[in-house]
Amino acid sequence: MNFDYIDSPIKENTLKRFLLSTMLVFIAAVFTVNAPSLFQGYGGIVAALTITALLLSPAYAAAATFIGFLAAVPIVLYAKTMFLIVLMASILLRPLAPLLGSYTKKKAGEYATGLVVAALDSVLSTIIAVLYYGDDGIHIALSVFDVITALLAVTVYKLYLEDRLLGLVSALGLLLFIAGSKFYFSYASLAGLIAILLTYYGHGKMEASRAAAAASILVIILGLIAGYASLLLNLKILSYPVDPSSYTDQRWSISGDKCGTLENVFENTYDPMRLRIVGDCMVAEGIIESVPHLYNDGDICFDMKVTDSNYETWASLGTIILRGGLLHVEIVEADHTKILGEYNMTLCQGDIVRVWGPLVVDTDHGQWSEIHPVLGLEITKRGKGPCITFNNTSP
């Protein structure tokens, strides 16, 4: 298959390519969360690193990545979107991925560049996570799915160099693939993937390329219609860094009939910057499926099978695939007595419960859905157990 892009304008000016790459890395860095997601790993940042490696020489690619991440520091820190260790590791180590990817480009081609960028970024992320978090850091190994995003980014790049229209349509498809499969599954993601494939197989002759562009746009529109609800949930989470309230004391405020109004719902929550509020107040009824246990941060945790809730869509991809469709629930240490005092500090596997609190996605653990922290709990029927009685450690 012939991709002839030697005379492309994108090759003409190193400064323009450098600025473009830096801007792409900056935008992607702002929206990067602590851990990768299913099916596309770190998503936008790996796509940006891949394009950077394709556009620039090794030294320039590394420099653009470093500057792009550095420029994102004020937003990341003030909005509290990423752990400091993740941010520092990204600034210092992520430039290595486009550096080596750019070297690969001349010897093995563009798709090899994408593979190198994805593989190196995944290896570095996993090593750092395991060294820092121990076995809890293995969730970062989900970054292996970056290879999908990287290869799609290479395809978009090559299409753009040959045919601007197909390139732009495929770029929109890539954005939809990333946004539509980041936390909750949206048909818009599948539509984005199909759009890229259509443009790829339709490039070449003028008539075929225009037909492919039209078909891709139609698929994207249908995907948006079919998957808008889940896509909106993803966009709500992704837009957190650019939401003005994220820079104020109202960043973690909630309001709901059952939960009441709280200025900071995460006041007693460990590392709240990993959590993104999806819904102010989820009320869920169901059965405790796991044996309740005390986590090392002092939170009492269990997973419940939801039989009824006030949210039609609540289960993220991480919940469905990594937790078997069960809702993860955490009672923070400061609230142990308030939540469980009337139940003798005891929870049992099999308890039928009603739980309420903010619906969040944990961006550090599998991107799964949680009620965290629990603001209220009612036990309507005791289960057979095993039953766990927790010590009263709250103030």
Co-location of 213 and 359 in the same domain = no
In this predicted structure, what is the pLDDT of residue 365? 84
Say which amino acid occupies 248. Answer: T
- Tokens standing for residue 357: 């609190």
- Residue 394 inside a domain? The answer is no
Residue 282: which pLDDT band, with cuts at 50, 70 and 90? very high
In this predicted structure, what is the pLDDT of residue 46? 96
Q: Give pLDDT tens digits for 233-263.
A: 999 999 999 999 899 888 899 998 899 999 9
Co-location of 262 and 208 in the same domain = no
Co-location of 224 and 266 in the same domain = no
Co-location of 89 and 205 in the same domain = yes
- Angle, CA of 361, 362 and 367, to the nearest 5°: 80
In this predicted structure, what is the pLDDT of residue 5? 37
Largest CA distance in the chain: 75
Its pTM stands at 0.89
**Three-class SS of the chain:** CCCCCCCCHHHCCHHHHHHHHHHHHHHHHHCCCCCCECCCECCHHHHHHHHHHHHCCHHHHHHHHHHHHHHHHHHHHHHCCCCHHHHHHHHHHCCHHHHHHHHHHHHHCHHHHHHHHHHHHHHHHHHHHHHHHHHHHHHHHHHHHHHHHHHHHHHHHHHHHHCHHHHHHHHHHHHHHHHHCCCCCCHHHHHHHHHHHHHHHHCCCHHHHHHHHHHHHHHHHHHHHHHHHHHHHHHHHHCHHHCHHHHCCCCCCEEECCCEEECCCCCCCCCHHHEEEEEEEEEEEEEECCCCEECCCCCEEEEEEEEEECCCCCCCHHHHHHCCCCEEEEECHHHHHHHHHHHCCEEECCCEEEEEEEEEEECCCCCCEEECCCCEEEEEECCCCCEEECCCCCC
Co-location of 352 and 275 in the same domain = yes
Q: Give pLDDT tens digits for 307-324.
A: 999 999 999 999 999 999
- Residue 247 inside a domain? The answer is no
Last residue of a domain, one of 242, 265, 300: 242
Co-location of 257 and 361 in the same domain = yes
Last residue of a domain, one of 224, 242, 260: 242
Last residue of a domain, one of 191, 213, 242: 242
Domain count, the chain: 2
In this predicted structure, what is the pLDDT of residue 84? 87
Q: Give pLDDT tens digits for 11-41.
A: 558 899 999 999 999 999 999 988 898 888 9
- Residue 335 inside a domain? The answer is yes
Mean pLDDT, the chain, integer: 91
In this predicted structure, what is the pLDDT of residue 392? 60
CATH code for the domain of 364: 2.40.50.1010
- Range of the structural domain that residue 276 is part of: 252-389
Co-location of 234 and 270 in the same domain = no
